[in-house]
Amino acid sequence: MDCCGEKPQEAVIAEALSVDPINAPEPQDDPERECLGCSGASRPVTRKTMFLMVRPELFSRIGQGQYRFCSDPKCRVVYFSEDTAVTFLTEDLRVRVGLKERVDPIPLCYCFGFDEKDAREEIARTGASTIPKRIAALIKQKMCACPARNPSGACCLREVNEAIERLMNKTVEVD
pLDDT class of 7 with cuts at 50, 70, 90: low
Tell whether the model's pLDDT for residue 131 goes beyond 60.
yes
Domains, the chain: 9-174 (2.20.25.270)
pLDDT tens readout for residues 42-88: 999 999 999 999 999 999 999 999 999 999 999 999 999 988 989 99
Tell whether the model's pLDDT for residue 2 goes beyond 50.
no
More confident residue, 103 or 171: 103
Tell whether the model's pLDDT for residue 6 goes beyond 70.
no
pLDDT tens readout for residues 67-80: 999 999 999 999 99
Give the pLDDT score at 1: 38
Predicted TM-score (pTM) of this structure: 0.87
Q: What is the 3-state secondary structure (H, E, C) of the chain?
A: CCCCCCCCHHHHHHHHHHHCCCCCCCCCCECCCCCCCCCCCEEEECHHHHHHHECHHHHHHCCCCCEEEECCCCCCEEEEECCCCCEEEHHHECCCCHHHCCCCCCEEECCCCEEHHHHHHHHHHHCCCCHHHHHHHHHHCCCCCHHHHCCCCCCCHHHHHHHHHHHHHHHHHHC
**What average pLDDT score do residues 119-134 get?**
95
Tell whether the model's pLDDT for residue 4 goes beyond 90.
no
